[in-house]
């Protein structure tokens, strides 16, 4: 068995190495892949998958360490390590095409330390079906844990970036780019898990959470819009850094509750241009990201700031940030403003549509979040109170709801997921319907990602 194992990996390594030397159709690239597929076949006689992992710098196939390293094997391991792939799983049914595409992926991927969700997304897009990647050889992390890690990482990136600017340093644009790529991957993979986290509103550290939330919301809108990946990332980075220019303003001005004086407002109005200047010094920043940061308060009807000249052409993606920015600000409690529910926020935004906000995007936002966005507390016709845990079919279908409180208002021991399509056999009518939203402040705070995790577990 050991020699067969070594053979599998040796062929992979050889094909990878030869890809760097010959055209992809060359026999020296293709033949090792075919041999690899042949060597794999006997393993699947009594198992459905085969795990290849790198642990402590040693390549391990199905628990058997491979010590005889050839140069092609070393190259193979180095590529796995550089991309950030600790474990690769070959499934029964793996084809020569799967292996070939996987080798191509290893060869062509130039990014270092790619997040697993993104690797998965890329492989899926390429049509690789029977080769899986995981974070570790152990259990895969569930989406909610992963989403939380990704959110937390983006938050750290923002904190670091703003701190750098305050200290007169230029933030590392590659970090923002990477954080947004991770979030984008997670939005495509499990939008609800990622959106649920935007409900984190931290009053003291408003700017940090706000920046990450605007990025996630913009990514969700960008995806519903069907933007290409590069554009989605550019929009997401703009969301993450849209208020970076505020670091140039006095802290007590940013935190000032209530209305600003005319002079103070003139100060605030400088932050988009300041942001534009800061982004200009950063690496890995797309040109359109810069313009969007400059334009995020210009408004759809061009009445905002900095006031555009009549012939100035605005980047349409600036309107995406504007709707995300508005939605997150409205749903956040500030010292001078109570937090609106998502419905109230969307209602206000509908009134702004065509004025400060792009009407199409307001509609799209509503569609991409659903009528009852994830995290909305709802009262059902049974008088039970639940929380929306998912928005299927782009918000058009019935939302998924988990009941948290029974009809008398007593909390359930564990949230109970219910199907709103389920009907009462005696009357044929739906057993439960949503009557309306409930003010979340009337109930003890609910960790939506905790609920989601309980339901998925």
Positions touching Fe ion (CB under 5 A) are 243, 325
Nearer residue to Fe ion within complex by CB, 274 or 325: 325
Token pair, residue 339, equals 């937090």
Nearer residue to Fe ion within complex by CB, 93 or 280: 280
Nearer residue to Fe ion within complex by CB, 15 or 318: 318
CB of 108 to Fe ion, least distance (A): 37
Nearer residue to Fe ion within complex by CB, 116 or 346: 346
Alpha-carbon span 158 to 241, nearest angstrom: 7
Nearer residue to Fe ion within complex by CB, 100 or 325: 325
Cα-based distances in Å from 365 to 199, 372, 373, 374: 16, 12, 10, 13
DSSP-assigned letters across all residues of 414-430: EEEEE-TT-B-TTT-SB
Nearer residue to Fe ion within complex by CB, 177 or 325: 325
Alpha-carbon span 298 to 305, nearest angstrom: 5
CB of 171 to Fe ion, least distance (A): 17
Residue located via tokens 């995790």? 453
CB atoms within 10 A of CB 121: 19
Strands (E), 108-255: 131-134
CB of 332 to Fe ion, least distance (A): 10
Bridge partners (DSSP) listed for residue 203: none
CA 103, distance to chain mean position in Å, is 26
Alpha-carbon span 159 to 142, nearest angstrom: 26
| CA trace torsion 241, 243, 249, 254 (10° rounding) | -130
| CA trace torsion 234, 236, 238, 242 (10° rounding) | 180
Strands (E), 11-170: 49-55, 58-61, 64-66, 87-91, 131-134
Alpha-carbon span 326 to 303, nearest angstrom: 16
Token pair, residue 354, equals 């065509």
| Residue-wise burial string across 424-456, b where 16 or more C-beta atoms lie within 10 A, e elsewhere | eeeeeebbbebeebbebeeeeebebbebbbbbe
User: What are the phi and psi torsion angles at 228 (to 5°)?
Assistant: -70, 160
Nearer residue to Fe ion within complex by CB, 270 or 379: 270
Nearer residue to Fe ion within complex by CB, 87 or 285: 285
CB atoms within 10 A of CB 110: 8
Nearer residue to Fe ion within complex by CB, 119 or 154: 154
CB of 297 to Fe ion, least distance (A): 6
Nearer residue to Fe ion within complex by CB, 13 or 272: 272
CB of 329 to Fe ion, least distance (A): 6
CB of 143 to Fe ion, least distance (A): 27
Tell me the CA end-to-end span of the chain in Å, nearest whole number: 37
Please, what sign has the CA dihedral across residues 123, 126, 127, 130?
negative
Alpha-carbon span 267 to 208, nearest angstrom: 20
Residue 85, classed as helix, strand or coil, is: coil
Nearer residue to Fe ion within complex by CB, 29 or 214: 214
Bridge partners (DSSP) listed for residue 417: 402
CB of 211 to Fe ion, least distance (A): 7
Residue with nearest beta carbon to Fe ion: 325
């Amino acid at each position: 068995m050991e020699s067969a194992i070594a053979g599998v990996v040796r062929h992979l390594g050889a094909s990878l190495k030869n890809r760097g030397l010959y055209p992809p159709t060359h026999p020296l690239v293709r033949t090792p892949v075919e041999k690899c597929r042949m060597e794999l076949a006997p393993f699947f006689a009594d198992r459905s998958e085969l795990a290849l992992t790198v642990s402590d710098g040693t390549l391990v196939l199905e628990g058997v360490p491979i010590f005889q390293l050839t140069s092609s094997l070393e190259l193979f391991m180095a590529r796995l390590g550089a991309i950030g792939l600790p474990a690769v799983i070959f499934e029964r049914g793996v084809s020569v095409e799967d292996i070939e595409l996987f080798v191509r992926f290893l060869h062509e991927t130039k990014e270092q330390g790619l997040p697993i969700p993104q690797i998965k997304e890329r492989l899926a897009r390429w049509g690789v079906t029977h080769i899986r990647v995981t974070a570790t050889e152990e259990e895969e992390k569930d989406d909610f844990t992963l989403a939380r890690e990704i959110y937390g990482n983006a938050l750290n990136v923002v904190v670091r970036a703003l701190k750098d600017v305050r200290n007169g340093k230029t933030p590392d644009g590659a970090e923002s780019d990477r954080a947004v790529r991770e979030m984008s991957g997670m939005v495509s993979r499990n939008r609800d898990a990622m959106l649920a986290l935007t409900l984190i509103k931290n009053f003291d550290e408003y700017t940090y959470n706000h920046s990450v939330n605007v990025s996630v919301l913009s990514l969700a809108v960008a995806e519903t819009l069907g933007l290409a990946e590069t554009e989605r990332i550019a929009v997401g980075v703009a969301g993450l850094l849209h208020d970076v220019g505020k670091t140039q303003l006095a802290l007590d001005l940013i935190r000032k509750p209530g209305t600003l004086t005319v002079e103070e407002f003139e100060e605030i109005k400088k932050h988009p241009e300041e942001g534009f200047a800061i982004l200009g010094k950063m690496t890995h920043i797309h040109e359109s990201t810069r313009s969007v940061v400059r334009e995020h308060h210009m408004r759809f009807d061009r009445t905002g700031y900095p006031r555009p000249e009549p012939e100035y052409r605005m980047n349409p993606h600036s309107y995406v940030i504007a709707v995300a920015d508005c939605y997150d600000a409205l749903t956040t409690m500030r010292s001078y403003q109570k937090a609106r529910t998502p419905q109230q926020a969307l209602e206000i935004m509908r009134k702004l549509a065509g004025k400060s906000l792009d009407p199409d995007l307001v509609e799209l936002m509503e569609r991409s979040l659903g009528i009852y966005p994830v995290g909305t507390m709802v009262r059902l016709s049974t008088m039970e109170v639940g929380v929306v845990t998912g928005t299927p079919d782009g918000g058009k279908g019935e939302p998924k709801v988990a009941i948290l409180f029974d009809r008398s208002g007593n909390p359930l021991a564990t949230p109970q997921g219910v199907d709103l399509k389920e009907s009462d056999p005696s009357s044929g009518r739906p057993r439960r319907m949503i009557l309306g939203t409930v003010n979340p402040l009337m109930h003890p705070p609910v960790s939506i990602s905790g609920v989601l995790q309980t339901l998925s577990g």
